[in-house]
Amino acid sequence: MGAGVREGVVRDEERGADAETARGRRSSRDPGSGRDSVRVLRLRRQIVSQTRLVAAALTLPVIAAMLWFAIPRGTWPRVVIAFVFIAVLYLVGAALLRGVSIRLARDGLVERGFFVHDNRISAKRIASVVLVDVYAGASSDTTRQLFLLDGSGALLLRMRGEFWSDDSLDAVATAYPVPVQRLDTPITADRLRAELPELLYWFERWPWAGRAAVAGTIAAFALILIALMSPSVLVVA
């Protein structure tokens, strides 16, 4: 952890001094009262609805305009194929997004990400929790981020407030009897990248690479659509 961030960290909770205290804290923090109970955390509900609105706003006007010009020319089957292709991609993405979850249990947690499924983290590996409030761009608004670390400081799990509610972050932070470290003041994304790069995704460490990847993905998507709409057989006389 970077020196500047480490100086700003205040420890809200520490390990119990004896086994009885640790057991008591563990019992009070268990995700459920039963031995095999599991608490399931899911993304903010607004994420799915916002994704639906953005997809509709970006695609429907374009498809409608393309159909307007394609129908008189008899090339509307190409537009239909492109629309079906986009719709399939959206449905697959929406299904993956709905499946994102974190399952809290007594013996550990299971993270189901957008691409990675069933990342199991044993409770024995969890050594500490770090909570950081990060400024959202140039505004004064902040979003909370949670980092779950093992004994060597390696990242086990990350949760961002843009996608997870504060209740979900608090549930993970207090689920297991480990120290919770919290920055007493919000920090900027640049400072987070400079002092805690090992806890960030690759596209956050190198923003230029992230922008290049997005541009490349958009270009590849455009080329696929052009290829789908190119066959001359897809013309209605």
pLDDT at site 101? 93
| Phi, psi torsion values for 35, nearest 5 degrees | -65, -40
Check residue 75 and give its pLDDT: 81
- DSSP letters, 63-102, are HHHHHHHHHHHT-HHHHHHHHHHHHHHHHHHHHHHHT-EE
Residue with tokens 């057989």: 233
Mean of pLDDT values over 6-11:
50
Provide the mean pLDDT of the chain.
Answer: 80
The pLDDT score that the predictor gives to residue 194 is 84
The percent of residues above 90 in pLDDT, for the chain, comes to 28
Q: What is the pLDDT of residue 158?
A: 92
